[in-house]
Structure 1
């Protein structure tokens, strides 16, 4: 059985662009907050999963699994992957982490959902997402949950 150990969520009212932050900054802030909230260290995490909707188009960055090691060098070499499924991207990342844990391959997973749609203008965001109704800059946000198999 897989358990959610806890998590952390950024304030979705913030606008990272106006604060001078980039997508990697929001990722690092959320990862650090989640680890602190669960009293885990990077060495306690076996695998990472990131759910994100078209980050490559919104922020020009699609290799989001690498942000774990960018955020903290102790994650260097940890397997990580990005999951794309529009509004279900975070759910897909959680399901993939659960499958990793249930297989016995990994014991603890960090699952991070990353919204990056404030990284571009409204018209550019509309083109990137295939929507015409995104009327202006949107707020970015990020949430992290940590899951593990408890024996």
Structure 2
């Protein structure tokens, strides 16, 4: 009896697999709903929990063990005094509409996140940035006001 029941359950599971493979939608449950998708214009907690890592990608990423690995930047160089970070961007990265991402986009995003009128909940992470300069389409240099050992970690936001 148990074998027959187990066989029936296994057969039913196999029949359901093609239907699962054909699904194109994703339903998620959230405790909060963000008011919009712009983290620089509101400090709503839902923006952090929904958008970061799900929609936005940083120059770096941090792993569960705390290590920092490349994100949108494939590599970076740090000046001897710890004030300049030169990020070399991955090429071929596109936005949702197919537009290519380049160093101008990185500059725009960092300048906007740290702007005086920004209410970004993570604004403090960008507070020590003195300037963001585009070197070429695949390279951007960020200059800090003082050395910050957490800066690469901060660029994961």
| The two structures share one fold, judged by TM-score above 0.5 | no
Higher-Rg structure is 2
TM-score by length of 1: 0.27
Return the structure number with greater relative CO, CA threshold 8 A, min gap 6: 1
